[in-house]
């Protein structure tokens, strides 16, 4: 069932994404103040939303793993955490490009930029510890993922609590209808791709867990 799910999601993303790119560059008006560079907004913002959602999924799954010692939750936490790295890298690359054209500098050290970079680094540590750490570090890694999820509200409210160069969180509501419709049109294939990648990694991680269990069972003399 999961294999069918990710196949459908990734196929939808592959077909829809070129249509979204065409709509962004050919059918959506150019913003008056920022010009053509503003069009990176239609990819930067959906990536940021997906990054934060994946971080929450990973953190909640890690908390379930800690409370219930759930192998399924452990697999989901790792799968979503790896996707945080992919989407976070995209956010940290597209943001400075947009910032350089808009503010004259790619990095201003404002609260949203710093908290986003912190989220990325926390999940880098989580994935490295979870995949390369010694036996028994699973709970420490889960704690890192849970901590990373707590950074998501900081990222979201940073523009409200602190003075930042970033647009406020209600900027989407102020867009002309043609622009916000394009934003959500571009969000759809990106979200489908992210969900598909999480499903793929979850399936692979569960298969690895089952293979490990079988290996341990065959290696145990008591099972002979």
**The pLDDT value given to residue 222:** 59
Place of tokens 């979503």: 80
Average pLDDT of the segment spanning 101-126: 92
Cα 16 from Cα 29, distance rounded (Å): 20
Output the pLDDT for position 147.
96
pTM of the model: 0.93
Q: Is residue 11 situated within a structural domain?
A: no
**Within-domain flag for 165:** yes
Q: Is the pLDDT of residue 224 over 60?
A: no
Q: Residue 72's pLDDT is what?
A: 95
Number of domains in the chain: 1
- Mean pLDDT over 98-127 rounds to 91
* pLDDT exceeds cutoff 70 at 3: yes
- Looking at per-residue pLDDT, the higher value among 88 and 34 belongs to 88
Q: CA–CA distance from 12 to each of 20, 180, 211 (Å)?
A: 12, 21, 31
Alpha-carbon gap, residue 69 to 63, rounded angstroms? 9
Please check whether residue 205 lies inside any domain of the structure.
yes
Please indicate, yes or no, if residue 29 is contained in any of the structural domains. Answer: no
Question: Is 54 among the domain residues?
Answer: yes
Residue 127 has pLDDT above 70, yes or no: yes
pLDDT tens digit sequence for 141-191: 999 999 999 999 999 998 888 777 777 777 777 788 999 999 999 999 999
Residue 208 lies in a domain: yes
What is the average pLDDT score of the chain?
A: 91
What pLDDT does 212 receive? 85
Instruction: Indicate whether 17 belongs to any domain.
Output: no
Identify whether 2 is part of a domain.
Answer: no
Domain that holds residue 44: 36-223
């Amino acid at each position: 069932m999961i294999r069918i799910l990710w196949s459908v999601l990734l196929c939808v993303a592959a077909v829809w994404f070129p249509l979204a790119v065409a709509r962004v560059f050919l059918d959506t008006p150019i913003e008056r103040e920022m010009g053509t560079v503003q069009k990176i907004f239609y990819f930067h913002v959906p990536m940021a939303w997906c990054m934060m959602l994946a971080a929450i999924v990973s953190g909640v799954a890690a908390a379930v793993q800690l409370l219930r010692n759930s192998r399924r939750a452990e697999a989901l936490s790792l799968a979503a955490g790896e996707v945080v790295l992919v989407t976070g890298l995209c956010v940290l690359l597209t943001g400075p490009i947009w910032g350089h054209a808009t503010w004259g500098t790619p990095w201003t050290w404002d609260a949203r930029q710093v908290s986003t970079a912190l989220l990325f680094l926390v999940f880098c540590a989580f994935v490295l510890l979870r995949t390369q750490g010694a036996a028994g570090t699973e709970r420490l890694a889960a704690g890192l993922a849970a901590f990373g999820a707590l950074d998501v509200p900081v990222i979201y409210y940073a523009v409200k609590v602190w003075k930042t160069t970033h647009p406020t969180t209600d900027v989407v509501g102020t867009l002309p209808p043609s622009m916000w419709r394009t934003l959500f049109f571009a969000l759809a294939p990106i979200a489908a791709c992210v969900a598909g990648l999480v499903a793929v990694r979850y399936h692979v991680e569960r298969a690895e867990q089952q293979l490990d269990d079988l290996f341990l069972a065959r290696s145990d003399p008591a099972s002979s």
